[in-house]
């Protein structure tokens, strides 16, 4: 390639990696030629790179029929793409990035996560991306407190992490449960579906999701006409007819509701409910119509370019956890580009600054709420094969940004960042 064309190519690559415009075909081909043979894993890092740690626990596939549902590199592939994006932009700013990955086994618990975080911090890594449950996020955040380490939560939706258990060194990329249920509640309000039947699973997470939906229903003037616990076992995982099927159908008889809301975060039974209610009613919540950060059918705002690029690099579709890990790593790269420095002392306060914005294929720049460090973002409302809408819905207004109609607002927060 002629040397004079490189500045124009560089500008195109930077804009595309930031999610502002689709990458031109010529630029894609040139980038592919320059990176040919590198594979999905970023090249080895030089000592002066900004290292970002990733601690995750690969999840086993739920069953043989759904063996591809949870890829081994879920989340990791998104973080790897973000490192590539950071390095593409960093070619002009002379900033380079590397990803240090730590995979925990299913048997390793909180202590192993803390040990991994301390090891990464001891090597000078100042940014940790966690794809771990809430208890481990808190344990890691407390373990590295005071060491100048910033933690990005990409997998734990617990509202408590943004409330009474919030930490000043934690930024939340994954939406809270309140944001997810608010997104659904806004759509139900728009559709004038007012009467809800809430079905709650037996797990602790199911109860937390149900609690978030109750608050969303009150917030948007929806009425929960009926609420019942699910007591029929993991029928969705069984994938077959059982003696309890008739009982499960009777379970929905004699109720006055517009829509059934299921709280089943373990995916044990929620997919069993659609088309098995006595009356024909839609199903939403953790299954059926869901609220999520990313969906394969999202193609507007340059998202198609991101979808295709991810598929080329990872060999599969991008999943929500991939997007959340991508956004966490891109937060560091975008802030460094905007501030023209890699100094964590400059970047970390800037993450929550109103001037910071993260282009992320959602039509608006994303930003972190200063009162609880939650990433503001539009939420995709989708069914299995199609995107239905994007929240916040039109007509829901806020004095700062419509994005703050989703989740806990500043006047209601119990978070006290220190």
* Interval 239-252: pLDDT, tens: 665 555 667 778 89
Plot region of 296 (φ>0 → left; ψ -120 to 50 → alpha; else → beta): alpha
Selection from 159, 13, 183 nearest residue 86 by Cα? 13
What integer pLDDT is reported at residue 63 of this predicted model? Answer: 52
Query: Quick one: CATH architecture of 39-175+295-377?
Result: 3-Layer(aba) Sandwich (3.40)
Is-contact 337 95, C-beta < 8 A?
yes
**Has residue 307 got a pLDDT over 80?**
yes
What integer pLDDT is reported at residue 21 of this predicted model? Answer: 42
What integer pLDDT is reported at residue 46 of this predicted model? Answer: 53
**Has residue 398 got a pLDDT over 90?**
no
Is-contact 74 59, C-beta < 8 A?
yes
Rounded to 5 degrees, what are φ and ψ at 358? -110, 110
Apex CA 283: angle with CA 280 and CA 287, to 5°? 150
Please, where in the chain does CATH 3.40.50.2300 lie?
39-175+295-377, 178-292
- 257-282 mean pLDDT: 94
What integer pLDDT is reported at residue 92 of this predicted model? Answer: 86
Cα–Cα distance list, 12 to 9, 16, 142 (Å):
5, 6, 41
**b/e burial code for range 342-363 (CB count within 10 A of at least 16 → b):** bebeebbebbbeeebebbbbbe
Q: Could you tell me the maximum CA-CA distance found in the chain, to the nearest angstrom? A: 74
**Has residue 4 got a pLDDT over 70?**
no
Model pTM? Answer: 0.86
pLDDT tens per residue across span 355-390:
999 999 999 999 999 999 999 999 999 999 999 999
178-292 has which fold?
Rossmann fold (3.40.50)
Cα–Cα distance list, 322 to 14, 130, 132, 154, 173 (Å):
21, 12, 13, 9, 11
pLDDT tens per residue across span 140-160:
999 999 899 999 999 999 999
Rounded to 5 degrees, what are φ and ψ at 415? -75, 135
What integer pLDDT is reported at residue 399 of this predicted model? Answer: 72
């Amino acid at each position: 390639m002629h040397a004079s064309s490189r500045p124009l190519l560089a500008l195109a690559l930077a804009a595309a990696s930031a999610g502002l415009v689709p990458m031109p075909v010529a630029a894609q081909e040139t980038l592919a030629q320059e990176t040919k043979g590198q594979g999905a894993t970023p090249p080895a890092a030089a000592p002066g790179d900004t290292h970002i740690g990733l601690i995750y626990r690969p999840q086993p596939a739920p069953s043989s029929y759904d063996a591809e549902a949870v890829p081994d590199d879920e989340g990791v592939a998104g973080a790897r793409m973000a490192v590539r994006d950071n390095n593409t932009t960093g070619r002009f700013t002379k900033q380079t990035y590397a990803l240090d990955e730590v995979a925990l086994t299913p048997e390793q618990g909180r202590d192993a996560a803390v040990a991994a975080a301390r090891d990464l911090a001891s090597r000078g890594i100042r940014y940790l991306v966690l794809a771990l449950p809430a208890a481990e996020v808190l344990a890691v955040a407390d373990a590295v407190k005071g060491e100048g380490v910033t933690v990005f939560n990409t997998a734990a939706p617990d509202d408590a992490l943004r409330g009474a258990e919030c930490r000043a060194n934690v930024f939340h990329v994954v939406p809270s449960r309140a944001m997810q249920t608010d997104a659904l509640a806004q759509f139900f309000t728009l559709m004038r579906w007012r009467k809800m039947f809430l079905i709650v699973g037996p797990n602790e997470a199911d109860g937390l999701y149900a609690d978030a939906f109750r608050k969303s229903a009150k917030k948007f003037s929806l009425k929960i006409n009926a609420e019942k616990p699910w007591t029929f076992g993991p029928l969705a995982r069984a994938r077959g007819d059982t003696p309890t099927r008739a009982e499960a159908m009777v379970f929905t008889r004699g109720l006055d509701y517009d829509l059934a809301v299921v709280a089943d975060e373990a995916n044990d039974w929620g997919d069993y409910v659609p088309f098995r209610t006595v009356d024909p009613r839609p199903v939403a919540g953790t299954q059926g119509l869901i609220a999520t950060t990313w969906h394969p059918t999202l193609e507007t705002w340059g998202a198609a370019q991101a979808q295709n690029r991810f598929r080329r690099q990872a060999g599969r579709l991008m999943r929500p956890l991939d997007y959340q890990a991508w956004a966490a790593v891109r937060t560091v790269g975008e802030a460094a580009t905007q501030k023209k420095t890699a100094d964590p002392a400059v970047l970390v306060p800037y993450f929550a600054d109103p001037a910071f914005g993260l282009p992320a294929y959602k039509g608006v720049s994303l930003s972190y709420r200063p009162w609880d460090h939650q990433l503001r973002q539009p939420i995709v409302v989708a069914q299995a094969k199609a995107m239905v809408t994007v929240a916040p819905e039109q007509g829901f207004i806020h004095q700062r940004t419509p994005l703050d109609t989703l989740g806990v607002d500043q006047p209601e927060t119990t978070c006290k960042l220190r």
